[in-house]
Amino acid sequence: MKVKKYTGNSLEKIRDVITKELGEDAVIVNIRKNSGRGGILPLGKKAVFEVIAAVDDAANADKMNLSATIPGAETFSELLEIQKEQYRGLRQSIKMLDEKLADVDERMEHISIMKSSTTVKEFSNIHDEWQPLLAEAVKKINPGENPSPDDWHEALASMIPTAGGIMFRSTPQAPPDVYVFAGPTGVGKTTTLAKLAAKCVLAEKLNVGLITTDTFRVAAVDQLREYSALLGVEIAVAFSPDELEAQLEAFHDKDVVFIDTPGRSQYDTEGIKKIQKTLSRLKGSICTLLVFPANIRQEDAQALFSSYRVLNPSALIVSKTDEASRCDGITTMLDMSQLPVLYLTDGQKVPEDIHSASPGLIASLVMPLVNTDEALKIGGKQDYARSK
């Protein structure tokens, strides 16, 4: 095998020289183009090609020293090895590129389904990772080109976990069912607690106890005391984990005990840890409900669940739907927490402004494109005025 390196500005001319010197059987093994520094040639300068050509010459094959042509290649077989390696690398890159293109294709398909509908602005309310899943879900409902708003609504509802409210019950022979309300400041924890306590007392005729651990905010105790007086239920105030444990013990004959906690911003991780400490002595089946506002932003929803997961919440309550004209953090919260929503609250009135959650209601909050005739008040929707 005879191998030789040729250089020149024209590949055609180089090819002619190779044919002349090595004959018609010569093969091109490698071509390199030298385009100057950083691939940019000075004006008027032509690129230089470096071509390695070979022709079969069995007698010389493995003795040839190719170090002058390919750095690191001592023999022709090593040269071939290097070439094979380069080829394998190239194939690997093409495979990766193929995979990336398939991914892009899939995303483009989802985007085109979404664009083809009239609902495009509603999609920005949906958690990024849910969008392709939603496109899949709507295809199952309507495999055609242009799903209707109802199809989108139904598809989104099919992805939303809810538990449709709590079945409060009498527990004469057993310890009470205990519900803890936690969440950021001012989201409506105490009001929601009062709404549910009222439901237990007035509608279910249950024996209810209230405990507040919010000794931080001025008037927080008075706020709950007022509700307890209105409902005629016992209330206790806990200043420490020991006191909370003792007060829950003292409420052993109640059917249901509601525990209020101080509001803490999702960015106040120390404050949330203090709540965790306060609750740490509670034994038995404690259900912590995480309350968050319907208009929470996506980034805040992420931060909220990341900080509050230390309290090991069992379910979610979405508050203040009546104040939310845009709900773009709810699906992020659902995705992060993987928890069901129990209730939606839509006003300040105790006990009326609370609804058992349903997938359809939450889908209407996230994508208000379907005018559901349900009673939920949603900020910015005409239903609000109608249902007041």
Q: Identify what 151 binds: Mg ion, ligand GTP, none; CB under 5 to 8 Å per kind.
A: none
DSSP H helix total and E strand total for the chain: 12, 11
Residue whose CB is less far from ligand GTP, 209 or 262: 262
Q: Which of residues 166-185 bind ligand GTP (CB under 6 A)?
A: 185
Widest CA span in the chain: 109
Residue nearest to ligand GTP (CB): 263
Residue 322: which residues within 8 A CB-CB, separation 6 or more?
346, 347, 353, 377, 378, 379, 384
**What angle in degrees, to the nearest 10, is found between the helix axes of 76-116 and 130-141?**
60
379 binds ligand GTP (CB under 6 A): no
Residue whose CB is less far from ligand GTP, 228 or 319: 319
359 binds ligand GTP (CB under 6 A): no
346 binds ligand GTP (CB under 6 A): yes
| 3-class DSSP state of 177 | strand
Q: How does 326-351 read in b/e, with b if 16+ C-beta sit within 10 Å?
A: ebbbbbbbbbbbebbbbbbbbbeebb
**If residue 227 lies in a helix (H) or strand (E), which one and from where to where?**
helix 220-231
The DSSP symbol for 200 reads I
Residue 191: which residues within 8 A CB-CB, separation 6 or more?
345, 348, 350
Shortest distance in whole angstroms from residue 112 CB to ligand GTP: 38
Judge contact between 34 and 50, C-beta under 8 A. yes
> How many residues can be counted in the chain?
388
308 Rama class: left (phi>0) / alpha (psi -120 to 50) / beta: alpha
Shortest distance in whole angstroms from residue 250 CB to ligand GTP: 23
Residue whose CB is less far from ligand GTP, 122 or 322: 322
Q: Identify what 176 binds: ligand GTP, Mg ion, none; CB under 5 to 8 Å per kind.
A: none
Shortest distance in whole angstroms from residue 305 CB to Mg ion: 20
347 binds ligand GTP (CB under 6 A): yes
Residue 37: which residues within 8 A CB-CB, separation 6 or more?
none
345 binds ligand GTP (CB under 6 A): yes
Shortest distance in whole angstroms from residue 222 CB to Mg ion: 11
How many other CB atoms are there within 10 angstroms of residue 311's CB atom? 20
322 binds ligand GTP (CB under 6 A): yes
383 binds ligand GTP (CB under 6 A): no
186 binds ligand GTP (CB under 6 A): yes
329 binds ligand GTP (CB under 6 A): no
Amino acid at 87: Y
Among 69, 125, 191, 288, interactor with ligand GTP by CB under 6 A: 191
220 binds ligand GTP (CB under 6 A): yes
Residues in contact with ligand GTP, counted by CB under 6 A, come to a total of 20
**If residue 273 lies in a helix (H) or strand (E), which one and from where to where?**
helix 269-279
Residue 138: which residues within 8 A CB-CB, separation 6 or more?
113, 147, 151, 152, 155
Shortest distance in whole angstroms from residue 237 CB to Mg ion: 13
Which residues of the shown chain bind Mg ion in the complex (CB under 5 A)? Answer: 189-190
Residue whose CB is less far from ligand GTP, 325 or 348: 348
Residue whose CB is less far from ligand GTP, 295 or 337: 295
Q: Identify what 187 binds: Mg ion, ligand GTP, none; CB under 5 to 8 Å per kind.
A: ligand GTP
Residue whose CB is less far from ligand GTP, 176 or 263: 263
Shortest distance in whole angstroms from residue 161 CB to ligand GTP: 21
Under the rule (CB under 6 A), what is the footprint of ligand GTP? 185-191, 214, 217, 220, 263, 319-320, 322-323, 345-348, 353
